[in-house]
Structure 1
Amino acid sequence: MATVGQTLSAPETGWKRYEETDSSFTYAGASWQSNSGAIYSGNSAKYTLTPTLHSVKFNFTGSKIRIISYRGTDRNSAITLKIDDVAYTYSANGSAQNATLLFEKIDLVDAEHNVEISVSDATGQRIFEFDAIDIDSNKTIKLYKTFSFKILVLSNGYYRKFNGTSWEVVSATPTETDYLNNGMDDISTIPESAWSQLTGIVEIDCWTDNFVKAEVQFNFETNPFTLADVWEGKSIEVLCYTDDPLAGNQNMKVSMNVTGRRNLIKNIPNPTILAYNTNPNTVVNGSMSGIPKDRYYKYKVTIDDTSTPNNPDDILSDWSNWKTTNTDTSVTVPAGYVHKLNPYNIKVEAQQLDNKIISSIGQVLLFNQSPVFIMGAISYNTLSVTLDDPDGDTIQYQILLNGKVVTPEDGGWSPPQTVPFPIVYKFDTTDVLIGKSNTCTINVKDEFGVVATLTLTFTGDYNGIMFSDASGSYYSTDSGAVIKQLDFGMLVAGFNSDIATIRIVNKNYFPVKNIELSFDKSKIAQYTDVKMSKYSGDSFLDSDTLIYDNVLKSGEYVEIYIRIKTQMFANGGSLFKINAKANISV
């Protein structure tokens, strides 16, 4: 049996493989690309170099799953995989190895599971790839879907939901549809005042279509209380019972010692014991235990500048929940305080259960430095920059192109990142002004909200493997749309055309290899053919495919030569296409 880290070029017995091209895989993220080569299972994989959230999602049935992909020193080392919302992490970083078993889980419940594999920090040195998965040989994969989990509350014979202001009756006998259409996703936000409106026995009923889910948990918070709070002002009797018929009229010696902390037992008036026993010398003892109430506390943290003592304090952390254990935590001071007058007073207040408040004040000096940019540049529509912060703060960023936020896609800020944080971001050509000046703005803010901005300008260009003439004028866009045609003009039947020269240009920011050129001759007229060659002489190939196996660096080009060949009976016009593809040179 294969183990994680070994090559697994084909599924083992009892397993079935699904390649990345299967239609059940759903890809999210704007910059997924395809790569091919013998290093991959099925000779192909999808990848991204863009440091925004990219994911692949799917469902599968069965009890086991494996992840297979190429392993290399420039692959990502922290790939997040969630199975039924349980998170795992695996790495594709290491010595070069083809079709490697990177992750496996073989002890799942035999049921349907949902899977999400994601990375948000991909770069040219942390490539995120998705190649293939293996699952049980007699099971299948499906399009991604999440499982439903819905809640209704039963009170006085009716199932109800809370609509934000009041309880609504759903049904006396709810169906699956009732739960799906009216069930609540979360009951933690229902206020105490709403719960107090319910009478009788209250049940919390849950419905889910997730066969893996075996239990649910709910947390409810109350103010601290002890049995003494319930018993206060009442007479407490301890009853001892025996079924010995001879014990009826016996005299008994009875005593009780009540010990404990005053704030625990509170004011229980004259505790007594009623006991029945045949042994007159028996001493009945009673005891009480619990958490002493003076262990309960809650706390609050405020800040104020010493130059305006009459102004109200700002709350850094409002009153906490009741606690019984020590607190070791931190609070964040808003960025605005860094730019005001120093020093500041930090006040911590602790309130006991008896409402007594104990406070302490400390004085601090605050300062903060803005984030910085290291070596920001744009080449081939690709931004390369490293974000840093002199104080070591975590940072968040957003990238704008010509005034529009292009990442994150929601227009907000990225998740917090540790510094230094390198970014390699490839702009979508549809957003770039081709042949014109473009403005890229990178905003980055630290933990205190201090924002730094870097603005770069560049001339927009196409990206990818491009066809051009000797002057650099393109024949098509990087999406394949025709800009101009290679026109051979009018030809005489039985004669060959002049030889045309075309440049194949690498407009990627990374080197490529194994450039493969092929013809689409579906619209070539009868008795007419088109040939291509690496050389300008007469050595034209009969094959419709031409391969350059050398490495082509960014900005470099190779030339190919095209010639039209006609026979005596050739007639009418012809149209042909040349397709190009290449592999990343790793």
Structure 2
Amino acid sequence: MAVVGQQLTAPESGWKRYDDKNPCFKYQGQWADYVYSSHYQGSHKATSIQNDKVSFKFYGTKLRIIGYRSSEYSTSIEIKIDGIAYIYSQQGASQFQTILFEATGLMLDQHLVEIKKLDASGTNAYIGLDAIDIDSTGRLLHPDEVTSIYDLSVGKRIRCHYTAGSNQFGTFSDLGKETSDFIPSASTATPNGDFYWICVGYDYLERLKLVADRNIQIGISWDTLNAAGIVTGKEIYFTEVPSAKFNIRLLTGGISSTDKDNEWDKIIVESNLGGTITPGDNNVWNWNGVWSLTSTTRTEIGATARVVRGQAFVANYSHVYTPDTSSTSGPVGFRPVLLSSLPSFEIESKELIPSTVWYTDTGTITLSASITHLNNIQIQYRILVNNNQVYPTEGYTSLQPTPTTIVVTFDKTLLTERENLIELQVQDEYGNKTSWDYTIIKENIDTVTAERRFEFPGEWNQEDNSKISIELGGGLKLVEGVLNQDYYVTTTNLNHIITLGRSNIINVVVDGSDDIIENVNFIEDMTTPTPLGAGYVSEYDLRLNRFTDINTIAVIIK
């Protein structure tokens, strides 16, 4: 078995290799290509700029970083795997395709990796990446990549496959899957490879809008695409999401070079996709060297002049004629837009009873809901209480047709005191998910709102302090929501309203000074005022174990 520091020109058994030019790598900074036949597939990427980095995700349990080792390379390269940082060196005797770093024994899952140059430019100036090796059954993913269309948001991307014959509209398939190598960034007339759809937002019909990250085909004319219905929009389907509706068309390009109110300028040239990219970045959009056909007619030239964009620089503007498959300044390509009306399934008529339980209560809680799905796709579900699965014991229920009604009961003893999060998680037979959550409060204390009005006849002195408190279970008392403190009447708080904390209230206690007569008045279904003698403590027994029937307490001191 190979070890760190050893040259490894091909992956060992149980591993597979991805080259540094793979579109799944996200380079940030001033990385450049260096061509030499001894590198894996003839070149590698390197940078001398501090804090330049490359990131990617992979699915698997092990990782090797393959690169060129040299005395001119860094001794301080940071690699983070799922946020955990390690340091490795790329400095040493000259050797191509060297194992620079290795991690094994990782959990079988997706892992986010970031490699960054820590030291400044100068001595040990460079870091480089030639390739990575991962599990032979694993998969490399872009850091912004998702595998389900339901997980897309602006700046995220999803993989897709496209195959076509020369000057023919082709077939899209395998949404979210790694099927083959990527279509070259310079494209091809007979594509049979993968590319990315990048999410750029929504259209006016609130359909998800995605744009291909490259021209997926060259040598195809505007007339060919128009005959296939692509210029104005054609409905297509993906078996991965059979109930979703997809429409494919061309970008708009502006009726003149000064017209910026079009999709090419607004998306490709100007947008940073919510801060996830640099606007116009060729590493994202692969516009360099290929014109992209648009749906727009350049009317100032003629009815058959169709606008093309890109090629030499991102904002470049020109035209070809409808039968043309190329231009004198470069090939003409097909870069589609995908619009998606996602299938929806709804959790309806949701009910969970009760919303509050007392800590001594026993019995069960019932959750009921109706679930519908577009085109009656089958669904399955599970229920979690505080992130612990309670039904079924593991996984999801078996698939069942929609619409369907579910009724599930679970024991109240599963609840903890205070708030409890109840989740109903539903997924359809293709793995698309939705959920509903609800909060149940398990109480061992109660709530009361107290209104206190203090009225003093004649002259009142500061020395004539009175204090009021609420007596709780366990010998405690509550004032202003604070345990074991006294509330004193002052000239500034003669009228007072307090919302007390939650508690099992026993008594209201009024402790007055010798020269004040106190009246205690409980409004809202309580007794009439009870006169008390000077200097006495009034204890009014509420005779309620759970104080849920009284909205307001008014204490009036005269």
Same fold (TM over 0.5): no
Q: TM-score, normalised by structure 2?
A: 0.27
Larger Rg: 1
Q: TM-score, normalised by structure 1?
A: 0.26
